[in-house]
Chains A and B, each alone.
Chain A
Amino acid sequence: MASKKMLCSEWEPINPMEYRGIWVYVEIENGNIHEASLQLLGEARRIADELDTYVGAVIIGYGVKKLAKEPIYYGADKVFVVDDPRLEKYYPNLYGDVVYKLAKKHKPEALLVGGTMRGRELAPYIANNLKTGITADLTSIEVDKETGDIILIRPPFGAWMLAHIKTRNRRPVMGSVRPNIFPTPERNENRDGEVIEETIKEVLDSRMEYLEYIPIEKTEDIPIEKADIIVSGGKGLGSKEGFKLLEELAELLGGVIAGSRKAVDAGWIPHDRQVGQTGKTVKPNIYFAVGISGAAQHIFGIREAKRVVAINIDPDAPIFENADYGIVGDYKEIIPALIEVINEMKMKKSGSNKPSL
């Protein structure tokens, strides 16, 4: 038979042709829109223009109506708002169910979710309710010129390769995107758009109760994705103590410390300081990779660094092929030497600029 392939009996049949619009789930964090969501609005705008469709933003919660125009200033054409006291607290299944219901009603072609920790928790639930596919941590989006299909691109295991992922016969195409993969578009208060208030009759019983929010006091205030200078350590440091030297250098240069996945896995540095495909993408002027062998996933995370400096005892470490300046040697000798020379240079400068007493 030349008939269509049999559909999974658990899936509701859909007509992909009916699905239009590029949607962004807008995450609210402590009463503000998360920057990761704004970044997605910019990318959604680009895709929507290519497909000649609209950008939709979804805002749900309680007391969120006042934020409804904000996505429009960043590129949305329509904002779907559910402002409901039952949504005062975030429960993944409850929020997931509401977004699912909105998507089922309005049939967007794509739905993007910021890959924050909450976003990565929420997105697969929405996708599963819709019985559609989802791609985690995509790094770019393309439109197939011939078919108009939206292709999501992500580095799979071994980041030298990029997998182009297509969603067959199911809509919306869904993906999560880590913060700072796309730039934040400029805010433009002159943009026009429509706010659509939605009501949900019956919400899912979350079977959860929110008890407490305890902020974590961060000792360092510059997140690595915003730092101009990063001194990053890997397994080659040999111990947690090695990071003290890196910290000294970073402080001297007004930078911050970070680490490779192996350093994070060893517990030498917290997860939010991890650079790489499964950590963060960083864009410093100078990235010092100290004792980092240079796994593909790591190189991926520093692709936008202006200059990469490699310090490694192994002259064959792949990091040297991916660095601008390399020094082969023991970091325990090189870093103190750097600190010493920087101090000398700083002293010389202050000596020549200031009149001596």
Chain B
Amino acid sequence: MPLDIIVGIKWVPNTTAVNIDPKTGTLIREGIPSVVNPHDLTAVEMALKLKDRYGGSVTAISMAPPSALAGLEHVIGMGVDRGILASDRAFAGADTLATSYVLAKVIEKVGKFDLVIMGHETIDSSTAHIGAQVASWLDLPYVYYVVDAVLEDDGETLKVTRILENAYEKYRIRLPAVISIAMHTFNPRRIRLSEKLRAKMEKPIEIWSIKDLDIDPNCAGLRGSPTVVSGIDFVPKVPRKNEVFQGSDPKEAARWLLNKLIEEGLLDL
């Protein structure tokens, strides 16, 4: 039984490249390259593994400005069949309610699907909201933190294993359904030149606007977002002693440190 899978991806600033201005304590964002959210690549890998095993198709979807096309090209290079970018000025400023709404409308318009797969969370905002919200919009069963999924013989249910803080849980879930993949479950496969060439020939990426999706503008972007940032504070900096050992002998450094901690009553050796 083939599986038609939709996988959600987000184009995010590469946080590992982010630096902090030592004077102001703020982020230096200029020139920060963007990447596909690494946890979404894990989700893409899961989708491709399922496709390898059962056949079917994988469609990647995203809501972002046009620059995110590069992210869809990346996952098409991994073997994703089709990419859809929901992109419109009216989508700007969306919180997770408005974002999930647009993605749910994209999924509805794709129409034929058995499974929606999301990453664990994004590395930029880390909310992990979208999977559950999409499930709510589409009234689909869902489960997070999946590490394994097997299609049952009836072709209509998926047996999933998911991980929690202290346990694994196994569920049977009727399709269509939404799952999110636990971070680091798989290493995403590399981009293949043949897939990139195919992408160049077939141009499998479409851009859908608010009109294409027939979305009420009051439900998208800032207007469709109940939450707004009403102010920004700086995190009060915790005062620290900032004493640094002057010298180069490791044992002397060790004695210096341990004596400090013992004097303060924090260590008893």
Contact = CB atoms under 8 A, between A and B. Distances in A.
Given A160-B234, A208-B173, A334-B250, A318 B18 contact: no
B211 interface: no
Nearest to B129: A124
B201 interface: no
A340 to B, nearest CB: 7
A7 B166 CA distance: 43
B100 A321 contact: no
Interface stretch (B45-53, B70-78, B85-93, B251-259): B251-259
Nearest to B166: A216
A214 to B, nearest CB: 4
B193 interface: no
A339 to B, nearest CB: 8
B240 A346 contact: no
Contact of B165 (A117, A277, A295): A117
Contact of A342 (B101, B169, B258): B258
B124 to A, nearest CB: 5
Interface stretch (A50-58, A71-79, A264-272): A264-272
Interface stretch (B1-9, B22-30, B57-65): B22-30
A150 to B, nearest CB: 11
A242 to B, nearest CB: 16
B169 A214 contact: yes
Interface string B201-223: 00000000000000010110001
Contact of B164 (A118, A151, A156, A308): A118
Contact of B260 (A131, A299, A320, A325): A325
A303 B238 contact: yes
B153 interface: no
B258 A338 contact: yes
Contacts of B159: 211
A232 to B, nearest CB: 15
Contacts of A157: 13, 15, 27, 124-125
Interface stretch (A18-26, A37-45, A88-96, A183-191): A88-96
A14 B68 CA distance: 36
A346 to B, nearest CB: 6
Contacts of A120: 128, 144
Contact of A164 (B127, B233, B251, B253): B233
How many residues of A sit at the interface, in one of the four size bands? 35 or more
Interface in A309-353: 309, 315, 318, 320-329, 333-334, 336-338, 340-342, 345-346, 349
B242 A326 contact: yes
A325 B257 contact: yes
A215 B241 CA distance: 43
A349 B268 CA distance: 10
Nearest to A296: B20
A302 to B, nearest CB: 8
Contact of B228 (A153, A166, A211): A166
Contacts of A333: 250
Interface in A146-194: 151, 153, 155-170
B100 to A, nearest CB: 7
Contacts of A345: 258, 269
A346 B141 CA distance: 58
A222 B112 CA distance: 48
B253 A9 contact: no
A306 interface: yes
Contact of B251 (A117, A137, A278, A337): A337
Given A325-B245, A325-B257, A127 B97 contact: yes
A326 B267 contact: no
B216 A8 contact: yes
Interface string A1-38: 00001111111000000000000000000000000000
Contacts of B127: 124, 134, 136-137
Contacts of B136: 93, 96, 124-125, 128-129
B219 A9 contact: yes
A253 B257 CA distance: 14
Contact of B266 (A163, A271, A306): A306
Contact of A207 (B168, B177, B261): B177
A277 B230 CA distance: 21
Contact of B235 (A8, A124, A151, A162): A162
B174 A161 contact: no
Given A160-B25, A329-B253, 14 more contacts: A5-B223, A92-B135, A93-B135, A121-B145, A124-B136, A125-B135, A134-B97, A209-B171, A212-B168, A271-B184, A277-B126, A323-B242, A327-B253, A340-B251
5 contacts: A92-B135, A120-B128, A211-B159, A337-B251, A337-B254
